[in-house]
Structure 1
Amino acid sequence: MSELEANEAAVIRGLVGEIKDMLTARAEQAPQDELAELTGMRTGPNTPPQESVLARLLPDFIRPDRDSFEPEAEDADTAGALRSLHEPDLIDHKSGVAETVLETCPEQGGTVSLTEDQADSWLSAINDVRLALGTALDISEETPEEPPEDQLQREHYYVYQWLTWVQDSMIRALTS
């Protein structure tokens, strides 16, 4: 059990909602397939998202040989086929955990009391938000501890750090 201030709840709800909206838009790009409609097997796009944040959230399912500058045609075909088969399930999972957060995070702040499954969903959704923010801010292992000078980036950087703390606090609470 934990308490969230109204502004903290608004940040979490807003960012998780944005991720969910991005995933929904990506799911809507899935090709309409008559065979999928008959068999119930959904397929997704066979190409990675163009937008860097979404590409980070929905990475390739295989990585081509990193020593080669050009991926082999068969690697690209395999990656496309795997993406087409598995991306809908990944989107469903990520959207589902986001929905759990939106359902359990009080709109005006207040007490948050979660089951273990709900806490796992929060951890996953917060991780997705951190991946998205980290990609947008170009955070890497070489990024200095000090936030950027640009005010907007600085604010987003502080949110990233706060979410890291929230995630760490949840992990500690779950493992103690």
Structure 2
Amino acid sequence: MAGQFEPAPGGGAAVALDEVEVSILRSLAVQLLELIGPGDEPAADDDLFASIFSDGPTEPPTDPALARLFPNAYGDDDSDDKLRAYSSEFRRFTENDLRSRKREDGIAVVRTLDSLSAPGAGGAVLTLTADDCRHWLGALNDLRLTIGTRLEVSDEDESGELYRLPDSDPRKPMVMAYLWLGALQESLVETLLP
């Protein structure tokens, strides 16, 4: 089971993680939450209906990683005023909900990792419910998108240059995290397939 998710009773999944892996996953999830930012939760006396339809941002984020997590709905062609207006309007009504969902995914990862009894040298087995799996898939995807953006990974990156970095390259730890998260995500997806 080490390093790969396997089916768990009730439609969930389980993976053996050592202390270092738990620490890395938790740190990355916390960093993702910091990147996404705090939630704009409505006050207890606020009208729930009004808060559901509150306006969100209309401009795309300037941080490339956030722009990857919250892309324009109608492409990135800034020369087309009509498409830019459509993207702005779409963002205004959807980005707050998308941020909230991404935040919930990251928080679920932190909470499930925190629920593990202190992993010793042998590690611990993390068992996820079916609902936890959904949150983990979302968070793993967001983490990979964020790290991939920071590394400037693109679909055209067929040479695999990043995968052959020397150990002295400062990007090497991020590349290793990117690859590891991809393997975790792939094994979780395969575990959940019928």
Partner of 2:6: none
Question: Counterpart of 2:105 in 1: which secondary structure?
Answer: helix
Rounded to whole Å, the distance in 2 between the matches of 1:37 and 1:111 is 39
Rounded to whole Å, the distance in 2 between the matches of 1:125 and 1:157 is 17
More helix, by proportion: 1
Instruction: Show CA shifts across 1:92-127 (max 9, x none).
Output: 111111111111114644221111111111011001
Partner of 2:146: 132
Unaligned runs of 5+ in 2: 1-13, 41-46
User: Residue type of the partner of 1:148?
Assistant: L
Rounded to whole Å, the distance in 1 between the matches of 2:96 and 2:169 is 37
Q: Tell whether the 8 Å contact from 2:74 to 2:84 is kept in structure 1 after alignment.
A: no
Note the 1:84-163 alignment, pairs <5 A.
Answer: 84-106=92-114, 108-109=118-119, 110-141=124-155, 142=157, 143-144=159-160, 146-149=163-166, 151-163=169-181
TM-score by length of 2: 0.76
Q: Tell whether the 8 Å contact from 1:147 to 1:154 is kept in structure 2 after alignment.
A: no
Deviation at 1:42, TM superposition (A): 1.9
Question: Counterpart of 1:133 in 2: which secondary structure?
Answer: helix
The CA RMSD over aligned residues, in Å, is 2.2
Q: Percent identity of the aligned residues?
A: 25
Which piece of structure 1 moves more, 141-150 or 42-51?
A: 141-150
Rounded to whole Å, the distance in 2 between the matches of 1:80 and 1:175 is 36
Partner of residue 13 from structure 1, selected from 2, 26, 36: 26
Note the 1:54-93 alignment, pairs <5 A.
Answer: 54-63=66-75, 70-93=78-101
Rounded to whole Å, the distance in 2 between the matches of 1:174 and 1:127 is 15
Rounded to whole Å, the distance in 2 between the matches of 1:140 and 1:148 is 16
Rounded to whole Å, the distance in 1 between the matches of 2:80 and 2:48 is 32
Rounded to whole Å, the distance in 2 between the matches of 1:72 and 1:2 is 47
User: Residue type of the partner of 1:153?
Assistant: R
Runs of 4 or more above 4 Å deviation: none
Deviation at 1:90, TM superposition (A): 0.3
Unaligned runs of 5+ in 1: 29-35
Q: Tell whether the 8 Å contact from 1:13 to 1:102 is kept in structure 2 after alignment.
A: yes
TM-score by length of 1: 0.83
Alignment length (residue pairs): 164
Rounded to whole Å, the distance in 2 between the matches of 1:115 and 1:59 is 30
Question: Counterpart of 1:44 in 2: which secondary structure?
Answer: coil
Question: Counterpart of 1:78 in 2: which secondary structure?
Answer: helix
Deviation at 1:2, TM superposition (A): 1.9
Rounded to whole Å, the distance in 2 between the matches of 1:112 and 1:102 is 12
Question: Counterpart of 2:128 in 1: which secondary structure?
Answer: coil
User: Residue type of the partner of 1:164?
Assistant: G
